[in-house]
A = this chain, B = another copy of it.
Amino acid sequence: LASLPIERRNAALQAVAERLTDGIPAIMTANREDLDDAEQTGLPSPLLKRLKYDESKVEESVRSIESLIGQEDPLGRVLSRTELDTDLILEKVSCPIGVIGVVFESRPDALVQISTLCLKSGNAVLLKGGSEARRTNGILAEIINEAVTAIDGRFTAAVQNLSTREEFRALLQLDDLVDLIIPRGSNELVRSIQSSTKIPVLGHAAGICHTYVDEEADLDMAVKVAFDAKCQYPAVCNAMETLLVHREVAADFLPRMAEQYVGAGVELRGDEETLKLIEGRAASMNDWSTEYNDMVLSIKVVGSLEEAIDHINRFGSHHTDAIITQDEMRARDFMDRVDSSSVMWNCSTRFADGYRYGLGAEVGISTNKTHARGPVGLEGLTIYKWKLQGNGQIVADYVGSDAKRFTHRKLI
């Protein structure tokens, strides 16, 4: 796969898009059966909604594939080129990671999205979806496989669908063969994967995001942004869970903010100082490290920027945190010292997303400290190799008293 030119990889993606469109009736039938089963076993309605993969969703997947075809080739990019000596040229070139294992819950569109991202980036992928979607995932994997192998036999086995949990568990032990695991699903799923494999895991277990309203904040802006961060879509990882407010502005800001939240039905949990200013439940220590994913918000008054940074680094999940302030120095300090994958100044944490960041489709959001951090697009599915081209050079010539010298001239 690593040596297939971009034209072949894009042709494979085009074939997938076409066969998906042709396959809509068969996909609908399979999905209908999965849905019927799920209803009978009493799957909760939000999960049923995610399991549904109808004509409009297939069309959305097809549009995503077409946009992916338009994206630049992530492979073969020369990241640096150095002349080590005359006719001894070193290149650092992007290449696929290799074999990627993906486990995802419910949404069948994840199968299409991730396998097409892997095809574009020259990786082989083994997928395991939720058992409630097994018929839908089965036919989607079949369609993708038929499409790509018709383009080039070398795509055989590029996309493989695992049907049992046991198969995926076995995969997690193959750290000499599998290079990366990407879990897409609940925090529990991610944590359980992280603790049961030696293979690097790309993702995030929790999204405990903060907005800090500084003493130098524009309070009108703060109300607007903090409302969006909590309420625009509270069920997702980049929604705010804790609001930190500087003591100097708390009395002005909190009553106005609380009015908005209460109007929208947000349950407020405050520290002692907060509850002197607004009504709400008392927050326990536990609240500072809880991801509600719901219309619940914890609020704390802090005495300084320092205290806000410390609170975020201690209780947060290193996902996305924002400061609202008109003071650039304080904003820069916050953004340098908050140890999170995304740090924001005067805008909503909800912007932390591959599509909004302009990365195209997203593999997921990573809170890892190595490889890829924050929203991860195609680039996170690549690594690089070093290519050294010479004309017979040997190291012995560069050692000793009359040794040749390296030029180390940076060409790119």
CB within 8 Å of B: which residues of A?
Answer: 2-3, 82, 84, 88, 90, 95, 97-98, 179-180, 194-195, 198, 200, 202, 218, 221, 224-225, 227-229, 232-233, 331, 333, 335-337, 339-348, 350-352, 356-358, 368-375, 383-396, 398-399, 406, 408, 410
Contacts and interface: CB of A to CB of B under 8 A. Distances in A.
Contact of A386 (B227, B233, B342): B342
B98 A339 contact: yes
A399 B232 contact: yes
Given A347-B390, A369-B383, A337 B2 contact: yes
Instruction: Tell me the dominant secondary structure on chain A's binding face.
Output: mixed
A198 B197 CA distance: 8
27 contacts: A3-B333, A3-B336, A3-B337, A82-B358, A84-B351, A98-B339, A200-B369, A200-B370, A202-B370, A224-B392, A225-B392, A225-B393, A232-B395, A341-B385, A342-B387, A345-B387, A345-B389, A345-B390, A346-B392, A347-B392, A347-B394, A351-B390, A351-B395, A352-B386, A352-B388, A358-B406, A374-B385
Given A370-B371, A371-B371, A375-B386, A221 B392 contact: yes
Contacts of A346: 389-393
Contacts of A229: 394
Contacts of A390: 344-347, 351
A179 B341 CA distance: 14
B389 A348 contact: no
Counting from the closest, the 7 A-B pairs by CB-CB distance are A347-B390, A228-B394, A358-B408, A350-B395, A221-B392, A179-B369, A3-B336
Given A198-B195, A358-B406, A383-B369, A388 B344 contact: yes
Given A356-B398, A388-B345, A369 B228 contact: no
Given A228-B394, A333-B3, A385 B373 contact: yes
Nearest to A391: B346
A201 B2 CA distance: 25
Given A180-B370, A388-B351, A228 B396 contact: yes
B336 A393 contact: no
